[in-house]
Amino acid sequence: MQGELEKALARVADHESRITACGRTDTGVHAVCQVAHFDSDANRSERSWVLGLNSHLPDGVSVLWVRPVDEGFHARFSAFARTYRYRMLNRWIRPALQHGKASWVREPLDEEAMNQAAQHLLGEHDFSAFRASACQATHPVREIQAIEVRREADVVTLDVTANAFLYHMVRNIAGSLIRVGVGEQRPSWLPELLESRDRNKAAPTARPDGLYFVRARFPAEFDLPSRAPAFPRGKGLS
């Protein structure tokens, strides 16, 4: 996504500029409202930025809004919380319309046991047991501020909000919660994994298909929307 957005930006701004995003997404991972910043001296209205960028972006990538911010804003370091979602299609029949948009778990999942297990991860912990070997973070301590597993029909959803995430942290948590959901482990296994700080004791990394970057939260002073506005704000936009 970053490369495509930078190519579109060069077309609209008439100069090259590097994009800095608030969170990373791997191949196969989705983003609902990713936030990124770039520097430009080009004089464009917010509406013109949006329409111009989208006209040069491929299908599957769309800019929802653009806001001017001061030099103190940084898409990554100004965010004080981020939310990820992991969706699991839980049925014995393979996905069709949801292919590539949800992970497929054939065995019945006990979402209540999964949610019970997930609550052990609330708070500030050393998440080494859920950290990928390629993670470049300087330390493994993160604070999970909210976590929930719920079911709607045949879709089981994991929502996680934290101050920051380690590489593959959500997918590794999802993989271990699936072990609980299918009855291979008890909910009390999650605090044992935390205590062990051993990635080798946790479950394999869950597939990327079901992971979504949902949103980042920024201080109110930046006046950033959490979703696409119905119409461009202001007057005289062209």
Are 173 and 160 spatial neighbours (Cβ–Cβ below 8 Å)?
yes
Q: What is the DSSP string of 5-71?
A: HHHHHHHHHSS----EESS---TT-EESS--EE--------HHHHHHHHHHTSPTT----------T
Q: What is the DSSP string of 188-232?
A: THHHHHHHHT-GGGSPPPPPGGGEEEEEEE--GGG---SS--SS-
The tokens of 66 are what? 């653009």
216: β partners: 82
Q: Which of 26, 39, 198, 223 is catalytic?
A: 26
Q: Is 198 a catalytic residue?
A: no
> DSSP assignment, residue 95?
P
- Residue 3: how many other CB atoms lie within 10 Å: 8
* Residues 6 or more apart whose Cβ sits within 8 Å of residue 99: none
Are 65 and 11 spatial neighbours (Cβ–Cβ below 8 Å)?
no
Phi-psi region of 5 (alpha: psi -120 to 50; beta: other; left: phi over 0): alpha
- Residue 235: how many other CB atoms lie within 10 Å: 5
The CA distance from 144 to 119, in Å, is 10
Which residues are designated catalytic?
A: 26
